[in-house]
Copies of this chain bind each other. A is one copy, B any other.
Amino acid sequence: MAVGLQAGQGPDEASGDGFHPDCPGHVLFRHATSRWGIVLMTALRPGPQRFHLLRDRAVGISEKVLSQNLRELVRDGLVTREVEPTTPPRVTYALTSLGSQFTARLGAVLEWVGDHVPDVLDARRRYDEVG
């Protein structure tokens, strides 16, 4: 099981902390699984989307924060940004092959969570009853 996410790290070091905050894999995971990262990656799963559609999907986000989140995902190689020289410029975002692979795996986690919310609520109720 490859959970040593620090590039070039030996298995002994990795076993101490499988997810060091400084490692690039950790940063990637945080960008793509942040609240907005999840919304954006999920919105791009069916296909390329315009900036304004992403803004509408990420309810409550400011344009500045949306741009920051998209820039991180582009820099990580998960998302592409294409600008058509129209007036105003038309900006389209799409998942890269890397982004699609990540989003498929993340989607499996999110779908599982979505399907098991009742089990979690039951568990919490039982825990709180016992006190």
The chain A residues found within 8 Å of chain B, CB to CB, are 1-5, 7, 15-19, 21, 23-26, 28-29, 33, 35, 38-39, 42, 45, 57-60, 74-78, 98, 101-102, 105-124, 126-128
- Taking CB atoms, residues of chain B closer than 8 Å to A101 are 112, 116
- Taking CB atoms, residues of chain B closer than 8 Å to A2 are 110-111, 114-115
- How far, in angstroms, from A42 to B29 measured CA to CA in the complex? 15
Inter-subunit contact B59/A39 (CB<8 Å): no
Interface of A is mostly: helix
A25-B113, A74-B127 in contact; A17/B39 too (CB < 8 A)? Answer: yes
- Taking CB atoms, residues of chain B closer than 8 Å to A121 are 7, 24
- How far, in angstroms, from A19 to B102 measured CA to CA in the complex? 17
- How far, in angstroms, from A118 to B2 measured CA to CA in the complex? 14
- Can you sample 16 A-B contacts with CB below 8 Å? A2-B114, A5-B114, A17-B60, A19-B38, A19-B110, A21-B35, A24-B124, A25-B120, A26-B35, A28-B113, A29-B33, A74-B127, A75-B123, A77-B122, A77-B126, A98-B119
A25-B117, A58-B17 in contact; A5/B74 too (CB < 8 A)? Answer: no
Inter-subunit contact A120/B76 (CB<8 Å): yes
The residue in chain B whose Cβ has the minimal distance to the Cβ of A76 is B120
